Structure 1
């Protein structure tokens, strides 16, 4: 939500404020990228950021880090700049899917030079305006490929008609979030046809954005209640939201937890029992590592599917989860689009996090129930929650639990 609000603010005519923004490496990279393009972004107030749009200019260099939002949301915006804008990032970022977006931008009239595999490093030759029009792409690798085009579209001369053609589109709730935020910003969006999104050209006035708590980021904390038989409350959980992380309520209930949503927030209580589940996680693929960690601690087999695209995330998450759960003594069958997990007694070992914040979350959850689980790197959690280790340690300490992942 913070990433989308920043992009919409940058292409608006008037100033915008972002209340309760996410403070993390991904959003810092987004603000730095917009500043490189000439936009004024003030983050002096932790609780309210101010964005004043200015003419977008180059030359500029944008570091995307490992952030899918930055590498997919800002190239369509860079086409509106005057001058060349280059993009590059962490080594793994060069392997993340980008080619369908690059090809669609070329169809829209943007000159783009891409790396040898059709992705990063990328140079967008901004000419100050973009024609837009009808764009067809296969976005089965990431819904962000569509969101990036839609977010910039109000500034394109013709707007856009984006058509997804290919295997089932993953993470559809994120696209609903994009559409709803575009409408809230004042854009005209028609998404009535399946896999077709039309955004009309128009001016956005700027507005105040209220950012919800990061529901996916809450997953390991709520799972902690389930695996320890304890209780955790995440304050401010919204009663209505487009965030796919809200599906945690259903998933944790199916595992055997009790979930209560009230005015304070969402409270999850574990019963001391963890049931196995079968789940299509295609809409909530970012939850897969934590859900897989819980499955490894269940008393029945589980099967997770619909997440083939997470092989192209920060790491190949399916292969990494299989490898690390096996390292702990688990029984895992790696499927093309998911995992089958049969519970076995687990033991402590080093858990490789692969520079992936979600893998670190999974290891932390298992470490609450299995002594001797050691994360090879916890700093990667800064991608979305820089103080994750401190928050985790504080939660464990306040509960009086005997330990956790090291």
Structure 2
């Protein structure tokens, strides 16, 4: 099953510096977001499902273990093809969410459909991640939940084998996962669900579109024609074969390397029609000086020899903020990123962590409540703390391409979504596998 716990020794790592333009053809692991959603839909389906090309990483192994604990038959022994056979969901069970937002927000609605007591807890920082709106929403839909703290982990779902469903109002401005978690389980609710978001804009809209697309692909009836309202009708979920796309968020540091070094990186196996926000990424990288093409070989990014500053609202692609921040510090003009206040509640407060760690290396960064301003100037080597956040390690790796001596305190945190990251990165930079 791999390492499901956070009790591992730190793994220091020196980010390799590039002496030549990178030239790499990469085949990256599957999308975490698609793998997590496919696992949940498969566990709630009326028949067996397969996941081809899934992501094997801590987050997805925890999701598989949580669903298995509630009664689903989940086989992940084959790295390339996972099998899920739905079964009656029962407790008692315990779900370790680790530090995974997908597990802590997608699994409790599933637990409401189980017959029995399902407890949830995770890594220490998981207890600070936003969960209150989901708890309130589930309670209003008829799910009994006991919470020890102020609307966060640990919690216990006292499942009754069914969820009444109905209409619910939620403020999902902290995370789109708060809506996705409700929608994924909603076809199995007695009355389905009508989710109305009230509050600041929901971030990461492409992830919500992915949820809706995958629900429809599994046979669910979903209406999202009205802004900030999602209607899911009650009905069966079909077992099916899921083809998991390569992880676009995980590819971004590698694409950034093409810009930093004036090289070329191709992500193999990229589909021509994607559930991930590839067009938005293309636009951002082109504005920063890259050339982006999609061919039969895959998705290719070429550096042009210079990196340009960027002013952008990243609310829809906030996962890219750390890597783009590192890229912006190596640019020829200032950058300003906004719309990402919600990433303060991710694996760590990413805005504060990026500002703190890069400032220690000599960068000129200014925090705002919802983003960062970056004024490029020469950086120096030094220790870069990750705070158990895989995206922080990715940012350090990008900066290290041009700045010798950046020492990452714990690169093993990348196992959360890409255990192969250190080896893939070093092979790309050195040209040696």
* Residue segments in structure 1 that go unaligned for 5+ positions in a row: 401-406
Tell me whether 1:377 sits opposite 2:414 in the alignment.
no
Residue by residue over 1:28-70, the C-alpha shift from the partner in whole angstroms, topping out at 9 and shown as x without a partner, is 0000001100100111221111100000000000000000000
Change (3 A) 1:385 1:245: farther
Residue by residue over 1:231-258, the C-alpha shift from the partner in whole angstroms, topping out at 9 and shown as x without a partner, is 1111112222121355222111111111
Equivalent residue for 1:242? 275
Equivalent residue for 1:26? 59
Equivalent residue for 1:404? none
Are the counterparts in 2 of residues 215 and 246 from structure 1 also a CA contact under 8 Å? Answer: no
1:159-170 correspondence to structure 2 within 5 Å: 159-170=192-203
Equivalent residue for 2:239? 206
Moved more, 98-107 or 386-395: 386-395
Q: 2:86 aligns with which of 46, 49, 53?
A: 53
Q: How many Å separate the matches in 1 of 2:240 and 2:291?
A: 38
Highest RCO, 1 vs 2 (Cα 8 Å, sep ≥ 6): 2
Q: How many Å separate the matches in 2 of 1:287 and 1:399?
A: 27
Query: SS at the partner of 1:283?
Result: helix
Superposition deviation, residue 146 in structure 1: 0.2
Q: How many Å separate the matches in 1 of 2:76 and 2:49?
A: 12
Equivalent residue for 2:356? 323
1:93-108 correspondence to structure 2 within 5 Å: 93-108=126-141
Equivalent residue for 1:126? 159
Tell me whether 1:272 sits opposite 2:313 in the alignment.
no
Return the TM-score normalized by structure 2: 0.91
Tell me whether 1:289 sits opposite 2:318 in the alignment.
no
Q: 1:109 aligns with which of 139, 142, 148?
A: 142
Superposition deviation, residue 397 in structure 1: 1.8
Q: How many Å separate the matches in 1 of 2:48 and 2:243?
A: 15
Superposition deviation, residue 115 in structure 1: 2.8
Superposition deviation, residue 228 in structure 1: 0.9
Return the TM-score normalized by structure 1: 0.97
1:35-54 correspondence to structure 2 within 5 Å: 35-54=68-87
Q: How many Å separate the matches in 1 of 2:286 and 2:432?
A: 22
Query: SS at the partner of 2:133?
Result: helix
Q: How many Å separate the matches in 1 of 2:252 and 2:304?
A: 17
Q: How many Å separate the matches in 2 of 1:115 and 1:137?
A: 21
Equivalent residue for 2:400? 367
Tell me whether 1:347 sits opposite 2:380 in the alignment.
yes
Are the counterparts in 2 of residues 216 and 245 from structure 1 also a CA contact under 8 Å? Answer: no
Number of residue-to-residue matches in the alignment: 400
The root-mean-square deviation of aligned C-alpha atoms, in Å, is 1.0
Q: How many Å separate the matches in 2 of 1:164 and 1:145?
A: 10
